[in-house]
Structure 1
Amino acid sequence: MKPFEETLCGETKRMGTILLGDSAGAHFHLPKEWFTASELSLEVFKDVAMIVENEFDWPMTSAMTGYMNSTWSVLTGPTNSLYLRLRELNHCNHRDFQNTAVNGADSGNMNSTDQYGMSRDQSRDHPAMLIYSLIGNDVCNGHNDTINHMTTPEEMAKNFISTLKYLDTKLPNGSYVIVTGLADGRILYDTLKNRVHPIGEWHHNIKYPDVYNYLDCLEVSPCIGWLSSNESLRNYTSERAANLSRAVEQVAATYKANNFEVHFIEFDFQKVVDIWNAKGGETWQLIEPVDGFHPSQIAMSIASEVLWREINQKIPDVIKTWTNPSNARIRAIFGDQGGY
C-alpha cells in the first residue's frame, strides 16, 4: 500500500511560501493599549514576554505567512495570507512557509545577511513562491541628512541582482520570485496629520506630527523622509521610492534564472484603501496607531487579497494547475493536520 503523501500529494504541484522582507512583512505591531492612559491595566500586559521576545512582530497573522486569527486582546482583525491561499489550493502545502522578514531590512542588508536566513534544499524540497518585499527602508532612515542615506537606483538593482543569484542556488526548480515595489509613504502624514496620537488621547493634546517631530529630534524616527512636516521632503522621498521600484522592475523583466521565474508587482496601498473605504472603513484604521508607520492588522488582511489578485493576473494559467483534487479526502482523513 502506498503512503498517503504519495497517493494524496504525489501528482500535485506543491508550492511553499517564503518571505524575504522588512518589518511590514514581519507585521510590526505595538499594542495601542500600552500607550493609552484610559486602557492601561494588568490584562493588556499579560503577554508582554511573548511580544517583546518576538520583537513586536506578529508573522502568524501577517499578509504573507499568517495562519491563525489573533487570540490576543491587543491585536484585533482577521487574518488572510498568501500562505493560506496556497494551502487552500493544495492541502499538501500545510505548514510549508517561512517568514524571514527582519525589522529594518533594506536591499543592502538583505543582500549581505538577511537572505541567508531562508532555507530551501534544491534536491529534496518542493518549489516555493518567494516574495521579495522591501517597501520602505531603502528610503527610510533616522538621519538628519536622510537623503544622503537613501539607496540609489543603481545600488538597488545591484543588491537585488545579487540576491537573485543567491536564490538561484537555493530555490528548487519550478519556483517563483515575486518582487514588490516600494510604498508611497505620503499617505501616512496626509492621513494622520490632524489625528490625536494614543499618548495624547487623555487630554487630546498630542497629535501625530508632534510624535513624528519628537522622534526626529531624538534621531530615532523610522522614516524622516515620509514623516517630516516638510512636504517637499515627503515628495522627494516618494520620488526616490518610485525610482527604486522602477529599478527592481527592470531587473525582474530581464533577469533569467535557472530555477525560477521573476515577476514584479507594484505595492499599491491605494488599492487596500479603496477596498476598505468601500466597506465603510476609514483610511487611518489601516495604519498602526502607535508608530503611525506600519500597516495594521486590517491592512494586512486586505493586502493579502490584493497581492493574490495581482499574482493571479501574472500567472493565471499556472495557478489553475495547482489545485489538489484530493483536498476533500485530506480533510476527511487528517482534519486540520494537527494545526500549528
Structure 2
Amino acid sequence: MRFLSILLILLATLSFSFADDNESIHVPLMDLDEDYFSNEYGFRGANWRGKDASDLDADMYPGAGEQERDGSVDYNCNGISGWSKTKGKSNENWLCERAQSRGVVIFGDSAAAAFHIPESFIPKSRNIEDFAKLLNYDHLRKIAQQRRSQRHDRDDDFDVLVHEFDWPHKSWATGFSEDINGESIYMKMRDRNRCNHRDFQNLAVNGAKAKSLIEQVGNFSRDKSDKPSLAFVAYIGNDICKKKLEDMTTVDQYRKQIIDGLTKLDAKIAPGSKVVITGLVDGRILWDTMHDRMHPLGMTYAEVYDLLWDIKGNPCRTWLTSDASMRDKASARAAELSEVALDIAKTAKFNNFEVAYIDLPMKDAIEDWKNQGKDVAELIEVVDGFHPSHTAHRLLSKLIWEKLSTEYPGFLGPLNPNNQMIKKNFGEQGGH
C-alpha cells in the first residue's frame, strides 16, 4: 500500500507539472471514479471539495441529490446513513428531506483560495530579483517541487506543492480547519443544517479573473438532480492588476464574461440555488496599510513594491505603486466593474438560481480590527503584501454572513430542527 501511495504521488507530481501549461486542469488528480471528488486531500482533493466517501462509485459524492434509498450507503457523503423503522424511511430522508440543504461553492481567484506564502520561503539571498520569482505562481510550483523532493518522510507542515500555495480549508467561503473556529460560510451553513456536511467546492485558481468563470463552472461537479447550491462569484482584483492601466478589463468585457459564466452555470446547477456576486476590492487599501511598514526583506513595503516595479516583478503594478494617480485610476475601474456586477444581480434572470450582489467587506474588516485595537497590517499577507491574510478571511466570513443573514436570509436556508438528532446519532459525521 505504501508503494502504491508513493506511485500515485509521483504520477500526480508529473501531471501537476504538466498542468502549469494548461489552465483547465484544476480538478482532483486522484479521482478513480472521475466524479471530481477525492478522498485524498492534495492535488485539488478533499481540502478543495468535500471528501468523497468512496472513490470507486461515481454516484457517491458530496451534494448528491436526495433519493428514496434504503440508507445502506451514504450516497451524499454527509455521514448520515441507516434506516429508521419508526419513520419507515432512511435516516437521510427523514432528517434532511425538509431541510432545504445546499452546498457552498466559490468561483474565484487566489484570494478566494486563501493564498499564502510562508515566510520560510523568502530567499536567503534577500535579493529582490530572487524575491520577485517568489511572487510568480509558476515559479512557486517549481520551488515547491524542489522542497518536496528534499523530504524523506511526511511531516506535519502544510504541503505547499499539492495545494498550489493555497489554503482552501482556511478560506472565508469553504474553510473547515479547526483553527478557523468555524469562521467560514461553509461551516456556518453546516451549523445551520448538519445535512450540509462536506458539501463544499472551492474552484478558485491563482491568477483567475472574470473570464475564468466559464472555465471554473466547467470544473464544477453538480447537475440539476443534485442538491441546490449557495455559490459565490468572487474575482476581486486580477481584472485590475495589469502591467498598465490600458490592459485592465473593460466594463463591456467584464459584463460579457460574467454573464457567459452565469449562463453556463444555469445549465448545470440545481433549481432553487442562489448565487452571490461580490464586488472588487479597492486595492488602495494595500498601499495605505503597508507602504511604510517594514518587509521581512529589511526595507519598507513601498521600497519593495517600487523595486519590483523596476524589474517587472510586481504582482499588481496598477495598485502596488507609489504613483497615487495610477492607484486612483485602478480603483475607479474596480468601482465601475463592481457597478456592473450590481447591475447584473438586479437585472439578469436565470432559470435555476437567484442572484444577489454584496460589496466585499474588506474596509469593514479593517474598521472592525481597528476598533479592537489591533494592527491593520495583520489583515494583509506578510510576504507578498497583497493578499488578505488568514486572519482577514475569518473576519470576511463573519461580515459576509451577517450581510446575507440581514439582507438575503432566504439564501441560507432554514435552521434544520433535526440538527441535535443528527449530532446525537452520527457525531461528527465522519469529519472532513
| TM-score normalised by length of structure 1 | 0.89
Secondary structure in 1 aligned to 2:159? helix
Larger Cα-atom Rg: 2
Letter in 2 for 1:152: T
Partner of 1:18: 105
Post-superposition offset of 1:49: 7.4
Q: Is the 8 A contact 1:78 1:298 kept in 2?
A: no
Partner of 2:250: 152
Post-superposition offset of 1:36: 8.9
Partner of 1:118: 220
The partner residue of 2:409 within 310, 313, 316 is 316
Report 1:96-245 matches (<5 A): 96-111=199-214, 113-123=215-225, 125-141=226-242, 143=243, 146-200=244-298, 206-245=299-338
Cα deviation 1:11-59 (Å, max 9, x = unaligned): 211010000000000000011244397xxxx99x956771122111000
Post-superposition offset of 1:259: 0.5
Distance 1:185 1:220, change over 3 A: same
Partner of 1:56: 165
CA–CA distance in 1 between the matches of 2:425 and 2:311? 57
Partner of 1:73: none
The partner residue of 1:28 within 99, 115, 119 is 115
Partner of 1:86: 189
CA–CA distance in 2 between the matches of 1:209 and 1:165? 42
Q: Is the 8 A contact 1:16 1:126 kept in 2?
A: yes
Q: Is the 8 A contact 1:61 1:79 kept in 2?
A: no
Distance 1:249 1:176, change over 3 A: same
CA–CA distance in 2 between the matches of 1:238 and 1:78? 33
Q: Is the 8 A contact 1:287 1:299 kept in 2?
A: yes
The partner residue of 2:428 within 317, 336, 339 is 336
CA–CA distance in 2 between the matches of 1:229 and 1:324? 51
Post-superposition offset of 1:150: 0.4
CA–CA distance in 2 between the matches of 1:225 and 1:35? 24
Distance 1:213 1:47, change over 3 A: farther
CA–CA distance in 2 between the matches of 1:103 and 1:155? 20
Aligned residues, how many? 318
Distance 1:136 1:318, change over 3 A: closer
Cα deviation 1:213-243 (Å, max 9, x = unaligned): 2322232322111101100000100000000
Secondary structure in 1 aligned to 2:318? helix
Partner of 1:261: 354
Displacement over 4 Å in runs of 4+: 45-49
CA–CA distance in 1 between the matches of 2:182 and 2:287? 26
Distance 1:332 1:262, change over 3 A: same
Post-superposition offset of 1:186: 0.3
Q: Is the 8 A contact 1:79 1:300 kept in 2?
A: no
CA–CA distance in 1 between the matches of 2:392 and 2:276? 20
CA–CA distance in 1 between the matches of 2:310 and 2:258? 33
5+ residue gaps in structure 1?
71-76, 201-205
CA–CA distance in 2 between the matches of 1:317 and 1:94? 19
Q: Is the aligned partner of 1:270 residue 2:363?
A: yes
5+ residue gaps in structure 2?
1-84, 125-149
CA–CA distance in 1 between the matches of 2:274 and 2:411? 11
Report 1:288-307 matches (<5 A): 288-307=381-400
Q: Is the 8 A contact 2:278 2:357 kept in 1?
A: yes
Q: Is the 8 A contact 1:19 1:133 kept in 2?
A: yes
Cα deviation 1:296-320 (Å, max 9, x = unaligned): 011000000111111122323564x
Distance 1:5 1:58, change over 3 A: same
Q: Is the 8 A contact 2:184 2:394 kept in 1?
A: yes
Q: Is the 8 A contact 1:61 1:69 kept in 2?
A: no
Distance 1:79 1:211, change over 3 A: farther
Post-superposition offset of 1:119: 1.4
Q: Is the 8 A contact 1:138 1:151 kept in 2?
A: yes
Distance 1:290 1:135, change over 3 A: same
Secondary structure in 1 aligned to 2:383? coil
Distance 1:241 1:153, change over 3 A: same
The Cα RMSD (Å) is 2.0
Secondary structure in 1 aligned to 2:201? strand
CA–CA distance in 1 between the matches of 2:166 and 2:176? 14
- In percent, how many aligned pairs have the same letter? 40
CA–CA distance in 2 between the matches of 1:318 and 1:305? 16
Secondary structure in 1 aligned to 2:160? helix
Distance 1:287 1:150, change over 3 A: same
Q: Is the 8 A contact 2:182 2:188 kept in 1?
A: no
